[in-house]
């Protein structure tokens, strides 16, 4: 190669690494030399550039630090290489903000997590200083192995419209549908230290690049999707086989549990929400349970629910053997107020439990209080493996019909029912329990062997 050709190649490679060639479609917000175009917010962690790498070093303080881009980005594809030196929580913030009137200027917004703990939620989506976890990586267990400690890891974040997707080392990790923020800055956080041993631990970022024009989404995958848009069925969910059981407007697909037609009282649809109405004081206006007009065998059922204070309700499945309303129940209950939470055995009548059979093991931070929307999920496989989920966390699992299940039934209020909950197929039932519970975004995916 002659000197002239070598000079031309070197001239092109330099901007590719740091500022981007004009025609490759990528922008390079980090110039590889200094922190021009970035500013530090909140904490005082040390940020410096060493050999083309942004190095963030934890110091002895109790505030998270953020190095943020001075430019805001809306739709984009972002890639960066990230390395942790020592176990310290970090991530990449995006579509994030800092406003003096909100939490005294603390950074808030989406973050693709870097989590070195045993739970291994790196790449999950966290809502910093607001809703907290949107996509715990328990929803996508294979992705827990994607992040490698003390090695360079390639992060990819796609924000296109309301679709937010993350990858680590080309492994899909999270997919969120959300419209809380449509634009904001990029942030590189250094977490506050919890002990003296964490002082001096580092997070390193390099090869940061972002594309904002002519965006082409990555091909669809089959990882779990968390959708926060009410009664919305995204294209990605439809490709996975999900469909809506409630259209947000009508009672189509639903009827009274014991007669044709939808109940004339006790229920209402308003602003895209299906609600049971508390008619405790007027028994003549009470409603009845409702069921889908279609029956199901194996499925994944997603649903959003919002409890009034003290409310009691439930989602039932595998009904029919012993009456149209007798079956397995995902309990919906205000555990703090309703006395039913103290009944049963070992908490098996609390929120998200398999009613009177298996208690839900919950962390308080993953339970939304009455007045807030929770996301529930029931998984019933063709092999009769069953799971209950609440806000992205699996809270219980069991096998329908095995010896353990039969033993639990024998000790419950269902002991007298023959072949309890062993129907081959049944509708989905929403319980009417003389209290107010709101529902939306009810979706189902049929599972087959």
pLDDT tens digit sequence for 185-195:
999 999 888 78
Tokens 């083309």 correspond to: 52
**Single pTM value for the model:** 0.92
Confidence of residue 4 (pLDDT cuts 50, 70, 90): very low
CB 405 within 8 A of CB 397: no
Question: Quick one: DSSP state of residue 358?
Answer: B
Structure tokens at 440: 């939306």
Q: Specify the higher pLDDT residue, 279 or 89.
A: 89
CA 418 – CA 165 distance, rounded (Å): 47
Confidence of residue 88 (pLDDT cuts 50, 70, 90): confident
DSSP-assigned letters across all residues of 119-185: T--TT-EEEETTTEEEE-GGGSGGGGGS--TTS-EEEEEEEETTEEEEEETTEEEEEEE--S-S-EE
pLDDT at position 176 over 90? yes
Give the CA-trace dihedral at 306, 309, 313, 314, to 10 degrees. Answer: 50
Structure tokens at 82: 């990230």
Domains of the chain with CATH codes: 18-211 (2.60.120.560), 230-446 (2.60.120.560)
CB 93 within 8 A of CB 128: yes
Tokens 């259209």 correspond to: 247
Find, among 44, 41, 52, 42, the residue nearest to 18 by Cα: 52
Mean pLDDT is lowest, of 83-92, 93-102, 244-253, 335-344, for: 83-92
- Strands of the sheet containing 202-211, edge to edge, are 46-50, 53-57, 202-211, 76-85, 153-160, 163-168, 171-177, 226-227
Query: What are phi and psi for residue 201, nearest 5 degrees?
Result: -70, 150
What is the rounded average pLDDT for all residues in the chain? 92
Mean pLDDT is lowest, of 13-27, 104-118, 258-272, for: 13-27
Confidence of residue 23 (pLDDT cuts 50, 70, 90): low
pLDDT at position 11 over 90? no
Find, among 91, 94, 130, the residue nearest to 113 by Cα: 91
Q: Helix, strand, coil: what percent of the chain each, to 5?
A: 10, 40, 50
Can you say how many angstroms the Cα of residue 190 is from the centroid of all Cα atoms in its chain? Answer: 23
Confidence of residue 153 (pLDDT cuts 50, 70, 90): very high
Residue 407 belongs to what H/E stretch?
helix 403-410
Confidence of residue 60 (pLDDT cuts 50, 70, 90): confident
Specify the pLDDT at position 284.
63
pLDDT at position 16 over 70? no
CA 417 – CA 345 distance, rounded (Å): 19
Structure tokens at 266: 């006790």
CB 270 within 8 A of CB 420: no
CB 296 within 8 A of CB 426: yes
Give start and end residues of each alpha helix (H) in 220-297: 235-240
Question: Mean pLDDT, to the nearest integer, of 370-397?
Answer: 98
Rounded alpha-carbon distances, angstroms, from residue 416 to 100, 325, 421: 62, 15, 12
CA 210 – CA 76 distance, rounded (Å): 7
Confidence of residue 6 (pLDDT cuts 50, 70, 90): very low
Specify the pLDDT at position 198.
79
């Amino acid at each position: 190669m002659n000197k002239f050709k070598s000079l031309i190649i070197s001239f092109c490679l330099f901007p590719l690494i740091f500022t981007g060639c004009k025609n490759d479609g990528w922008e390079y917000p980090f110039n590889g030399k200094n922190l021009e175009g970035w500013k530090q917010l909140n904490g005082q962690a040390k940020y410096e550039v060493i050999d083309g790498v942004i190095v963030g070093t934890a110091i002895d303080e109790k505030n998270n630090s953020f190095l943020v881009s001075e430019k805001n980005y809306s739709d984009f594809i972002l890639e960066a290489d990230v390395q942790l030196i020592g176990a310290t929580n970090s991530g990449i913030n995006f579509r994030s903000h800092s406003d003096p009137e909100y939490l005294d200027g603390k950074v808030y917004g989406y973050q693709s997590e870097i989590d070195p703990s045993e739970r291994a939620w790196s790449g999950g989506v966290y809502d910093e200083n607001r809703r907290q976890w949107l996509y715990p990586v328990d929803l996508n267990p294979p992705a827990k192995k994607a992040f490698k400690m003390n090695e360079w890891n390639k992060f990819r974040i796609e924000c296109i419209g309301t679709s937010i997707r993350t990858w680590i080392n080309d492994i899909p990790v999270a997919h969120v549908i959300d419209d809380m923020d449509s634009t904001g800055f990029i942030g590189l956080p250094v977490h506050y230290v919890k002990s003296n041993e964490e002082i001096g631990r580092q997070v390193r970022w390099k090869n940061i690049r972002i594309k904002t024009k002519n965006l082409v989404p990555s091909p669809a995958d089959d990882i779990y999707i968390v959708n926060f848009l009410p009664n919305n069925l995204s294209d990605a969910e439809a490709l996975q086989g999900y469909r809506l059981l409630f259209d947000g407007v009508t009672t189509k697909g639903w009827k009274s549990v014991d007669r044709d037609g939808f109940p004339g009282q006790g229920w209402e649809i308003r602003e895209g929400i299906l609600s049971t109405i508390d008619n405790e004081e007027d028994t003549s206006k009470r409603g009845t349970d409702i069921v889908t007009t279609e029956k199901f065998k194996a499925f994944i059922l997603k649903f959003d629910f919002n409890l009034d204070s003290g409310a009691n309700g439930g989602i039932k499945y595998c009904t029919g053997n012993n009456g149209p309303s007798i079956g397995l129940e995902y309990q919906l209950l205000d555990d703090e107020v309703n006395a039913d939470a103290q009944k049963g055995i070992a908490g098996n009548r609390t929120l998200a439990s398999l009613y009177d059979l298996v208690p839900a093991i919950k962390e308080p931070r993953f339970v939304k209080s009455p007045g807030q929307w929770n996301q529930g999920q029931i998984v019933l496989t063709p092999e009769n493996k069953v799971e209950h989920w609440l806000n992205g966390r699996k809270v219980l699992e069991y096998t329908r019909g095995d010896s353990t299940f039969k033993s639990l039934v024998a000790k419950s209020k269902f002991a007298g029912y023959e072949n309890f909950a062993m129907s081959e197929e049944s509708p989905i039932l929403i319980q009417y329990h003389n209290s107010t519970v709101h529902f939306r975004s009810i979706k189902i995916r049929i599972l087959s062997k």
